[in-house]
Structure 1
Amino acid sequence: MNSLTPYPLAASNQLLQVLAGCAAGGFPSPAADYYEPPLSLDERLNIRAPHVWLVQVEGDSMRDAGIYDGGLLVVDRSITPIAGHIVLAYVDNQPLVKRLARSPAGWLLESANPDYKTITPDEYGTIEVFGVVTWDLTPHAQ
């Protein structure tokens, strides 16, 4: 039986080591022996920009979009929201993460879980889109 050997940690505490290419979900690729230079996760996610915010998800209304309870979202306020974007919106001053949609009656906020109904214009007084979700960071081991 083969043993599992931990990969050595990166020497730098500021940059992450990056594997070139993609990680296969099936069999290992012999071409995966090449490594790229380190990168900064905050640069890749643009999380130091003043218009970028982080928000923790609570609940499972967006689970079918891969956004789970406890996940951390990167929200960019500089992106103009359009139908189809997942957004952080305030509905009557309550923050929600939903998919933005348009209907003849106005803006809709759709869940990505059939247990939650779509929020329609007749169900809210005001809706303010705070920003567009650009990344979802979901913990898998703690």
Structure 2
Amino acid sequence: MLKFIPLKAQAGITGFESPAAQYSELELSLDQILIEHPSATYLGVVEGDSMTGVGIFPEDILIVSRAEKVRNGDIIVATLNGGFVCKIADTKNRRLVSASEGYRDHQLKEGDDFMVEGVVIRSIRLHRPLHRALN
């Protein structure tokens, strides 16, 4: 179990005594911090760069919840015609929207094999690659 210090760290400030010295550590796991519905949540690893416009990059880890109802503008993971996709849900226009230039949106049409697998509730940026597989 990781130790959690309940403070907000300001990037770029140096040379001061650690404000963490005045806080106590809490016994929390990343599951407790990041996941609200554990039995309806799964992780996925991002492939491709069609979502970099919203800060989701290749090899990032997505935390996806099946407990959340899809709202317009949510980032979702879905199956579309046999493949997994991560896109922005445009529920008003029945489209899947990419968040990077050079990628077309997909207009959902009759005959598409489409199912939402969950709403992306968090993403985790890996600053070093994982040395073990997430299978």
Confirm or deny a common fold (TM above 0.5): yes
Which residue in 2 is equivalent to 1:140? 127
1:110 aligns with 2:97: yes
Question: 1:48-59 maps to which residues of 2 (within 5 A)?
Answer: 49-59=38-48
Give the distance between the partners of 1:80 and 1:72, measured in 2 at CA: 21
Residue 11 of structure 2: which of 1, 5, 25 is its match?
Answer: 25
For residues 57-95 of structure 1, give each alpha carbon's deviation from its aligned partner in whole angstroms, at most 9, with x where no partner exists. 101111111111011111000111011110001111211
Q: Residues 124, 91 of structure 1: CA spacing in aligned structure 2 closer, same or farther, 3 A cutoff?
A: farther
1:82 aligns with 2:88: no
1:101 aligns with 2:90: yes
User: Which TM-score applies when normalising by structure 1?
Assistant: 0.78
Among the aligned pairs, what percent are the same residue?
29
Verify the 8 A CA contact 2:46 2:59 in the aligned structure 1: yes
Consecutive unaligned residues of structure 2, counting only runs of 5 or more, are 130-135
Consecutive unaligned residues of structure 1, counting only runs of 5 or more, are 1-13
Which residue in 1 is equivalent to 2:81? 92
Q: How large is the RMSD of aligned CA atoms in angstroms?
A: 2.2
1:101: Cα distance to partner? 0.7
Give the distance between the partners of 2:111 and 2:98, measured in 1 at CA: 16
1:123: Cα distance to partner? 8.7
Q: How many residues align?
A: 126
